[in-house]
Amino acid sequence: MLSLIKGPRVFSINQVPKVFHERGIISGYRHPHSSATDCIFSLFQLTNETLNIWTHFLPTWYFLWLLMTAAWQDAFTWPLLVFLLSCCVYPLASSCAHTFSTMSPRARHICFFFDYAALSFYSLGSAMTYSAYVFPDKWVNGSFHQYYLPIAVFNTAACTGLSCYSRLGLPYLQYNHDIIKRFPECKGPKYSKLLRVVAFAYPFLFDNIPLFYRVFLCVGEGCTDNDTNILHYYHIALALLTGFLFATHLPERLAPGSFDFIGHSHQLFHVCGILGTIFQMKAIEQDMTTRRHWLLTHSLPITFTNSVCAALLCLLVNLAIVVVYSLPLLSSSGRPGGKPS
């Protein structure tokens, strides 16, 4: 399929601006001022982004099919609805970001602002289902359970804000300066990457506190030790592997240029992330089904306010953060960054 359309020319790392550089990736870069049409055509040629796009675009339709075919009988299923919606949003946002990120240096940052907002929304969807279905019996309706979801809502906004900051810095300081030169990512790429790792690792670790306790630490009565735990183990292992790949840039870091098109860390990161989401989804659905009667009797009530409304609030806050960080880019003039030779 990738040879059916002769796409635009691709470039090496020394032919594109620094903002587009990926560690360990030497070739396969698209034009840094591609048109939208060029970006779409590039889906059908082999570049260093092609598999990044398809590994998230195709699963989006699988998750959308699951969302459309799910049965929403009552309020008990609303957290699962939010989670499935987040599972559709984050791979779609990611595939769009990778597709159109080469339209300009500014477009690249704005595309990934939306990507980060979608990932943080997925974190909230996970937390919402954990609160509703996954908490170990002995923690249900306790103090931590009561504050868990409000903290997760705050973490969603903090994750989006910090990850956007890692690319642009403080947006209100950028209006009257050469914005491309002031990008923290250009001046300190390692520091920016560390900020993003922290931005996404913190919500993940917080969201999974009840799950980690349930499957690794809890012993005796009230630990909810059931057949679903094996699915949770698979999800946790894949999530940790996903984070490892994102942080380390392996294997291309060890052999620069050898994995430019197939097999580099971001492709593996996408695949492991999707597989982890699938196992997570199966575990959540199984917990929801097997524990339904007990949870309806003992757990916090699920309402429209603490499920759908909380999700809508986070979507609006995330969108507002993206707009705040995008405005300096949209208002600055010129198209810095240079053209490839």
Q: Is residue 34 part of a domain?
A: no
Q: Is residue 83 part of a domain?
A: yes
21, part of any domain:
no
- pTM value? 0.92
pLDDT of residue 6: 64
The answer to whether residues 57 and 92 touch, using CB atoms and an 8 Å cutoff, is: yes
Position 287 in a domain: yes
Cα 322 from Cα 28, distance rounded (Å) = 29
Residue 211's CATH number: 1.20.1070
Helices (H) and strands (E) in the chain, counts: 12, 0
pLDDT at 337: 41
8 Å CB contact between 38 and 30: yes
Instruction: Output the pLDDT for position 331.
Output: 79
> What is the structure's pLDDT at 334?
46
Least confident range of 17-26, 69-78, 127-136, 279-288? 69-78
Average pLDDT, the chain: 90
Residues in the chain: 341
Query: Into how many domains does the chain fold?
Result: 1
Range of the domain at 229: 49-331
Judge whether 231 lies within some domain.
yes
Q: Has residue 33 been placed in a domain?
A: no
Residue 250, domain member (yes or no): yes
**pLDDT of amino acid 186:** 53
Residue 42 CA to residue 100 CA, distance in Å, equals: 10
At residue 278, what is the residue type?
Answer: I
**For the segment 211-241, what is each residue's pLDDT rounded down to a tens digit?**
999 999 999 899 998 999 999 999 999 999 9
302 lies in a domain? yes
